[in-house]
Amino acid sequence: MATDQLLSQATAASRADLTEAARLAAVRRYDILDTPPDGAFDRIAKLAARLLGTPIGTVSLVDTDRIWFKATSGLAVRQIGRDPGLCSSAITSDVPYVVRNALTDPRTVNNPLVHGDLGIRFYAAAPVITADGHRLGTVNVLDTKPRETGPVDTATLEDLAAVVMDELELRLSALATLRQEREQRERSDEHRATVTAIASTLRQTVLPPALPRVPGLELACHYHSATPGDVTGDFYDVLFLGERQWAFFVGDVAGHGAPAAAVTSLARYTLRSALFRGLTPADALAELNDALLRDEHLRECCTLLVGWYAEDFAKVTLAGGGHCPALWLGEGEVRQVWPEGGMLVGALRDATFVTRTLHLAEGQTLLLHTDGLIEARPDGAPFGEEGLHAFLGEANPRGARETVDALTDLIAGFDPAPTDDVALLALSRTARPPE
């Protein structure tokens, strides 16, 4: 029996070593350790502390023998040893790790961080988990006095940890693809096919792989690339906000290539983060405007339409940032839905953004598009908004899918083809499914 127990313990230890080795390989895969401070992660650390009302918030990565902080709020430390680190314990938990009173909790009563200069009494963390299940680190909050937490607090930490993971994925995809693109562009023209494939991959990193299913809505999208060998800045997204609310947006970054892709990546992440935190579409645009102006490496501006959809009331709140108007389709009519007065995003510090609210009844469709569609010149004549209205009025499509399919066929038939990319996103109200 003793021999069997020893063998079992040895096997368990071996499995643990393999699991840890795979986790450390995942940490290194994201190439994030020892990188300079990043505004996106800094905002998450500050947000964690603010939302849970604690003096300290951090975004940490667990390395071989240290806890390294990608971002801190209220703590002037870049790294600590792993052995006394609370984060080392937190990454082993499948759920948020909460210590309400470190002096009485058996997991922490002897921890040096509790009895040392920091005097930690409260600690709560949610693991940052990759899609393949590796725990890279945590989003955590700390206090020097005991605290109580509830389900909302732990859910907030989990959501912020998911946002950190999204940012790491976006960062990794952009870095890897831009590196490949740069290397390939330095070579001769015989590698154009490879460059085209790289550009296509980069576009995929700033567009959702598939639209979510929204109860009571039919969604459809299309992306037409005018220059397959280059990267442009048209983008769209749809995300679930909870409590039967959804957000969506369509944008267009000025310019082409890697600079446009960098703005697109920042815009998509910033908007997702702002909307998820409960900011209104107009306030989300204001936050993105501030983020673009603060980044001295980004010079491109963008236009945007950002919306909220409330399932209970079928109400759409739409905010505009210098973008071409959305179109409301229903009962044989085509009408512009334009929050007039919205300004270009990333151009002026005192930019203002305007909101418009509408009700989407069953059978009605809201179409958002980028200006590559109306700026096309089939047969040498501008297509324009008038041409788009006339086409949709005559085609009279029923629902989002029919609308996007009709426009996809239209674009494919343009001669010459559009010289700018075209992004389409349509939402149509369907009968609400039973509870």
Length of the chain, in residues: 435
Q: In what order do the strands lie in the sheet with 333-337?
A: 217-224, 422-429, 365-369, 326-330, 333-337
182: closest CA among 112, 191, 263? 191
383 three-class SS:
coil
* Per-residue confidence (pLDDT) for residue 174, from 0 to 100: 79
At 123, is the secondary structure helix, strand, or coil? strand
Which two three-digit tokens encode residue 172?
A: 């990794």
Question: How much of the chain is in helix, strand and coil states, percent to nearest 5?
Answer: 40, 25, 35
Residue 262 is predicted with a pLDDT of 78
Instruction: Report the pLDDT value the prediction gives residue 2, as an integer from 0 to 100.
Output: 62
pLDDT averages per 10-residue partition of the chain, 435 residues: 57 75 93 89 94 95 93 91 80 86 89 84 93 92 93 93 92 78 62 49 59 89 78 83 90 78 84 91 93 82 92 86 92 85 85 90 94 92 93 93 96 92 92 51
pLDDT at 187: 62
pLDDT score, position 54: 96
At residue 151, the pLDDT reads 92
Distance CA 250, CA 221 (A): 10
Q: 172 in the Ramachandran plot: left (φ > 0), alpha (ψ -120 to 50) or beta?
A: alpha
d(CA 422, CA 203): 13
**What's the pLDDT at 426?**
96
Sign of CA dihedral 339, 340, 344, 346: negative
Tell me whether the omega of the peptide bond preceding residue 382 falls within 30 degrees of 0, making it cis. no
What is the rounded CA–CA span in Å between residue 205 and residue 224?
16
Backbone angles phi, psi at 160, to 5 degrees: -65, -35
Q: Identify which of 223, 186, 206 has the alpha carbon closest to the alpha carbon of residue 263.
A: 206
- DSSP string of 194-254, one letter each residue: HHHHHHHHHHHHTS-SSPPP-TTEEEEEEEE-S-TTS-EEEEEEEEEEETTEEEEEEEEEE
Alpha helices of 228-376 — where are they, by DSSP H?
257-276, 281-294
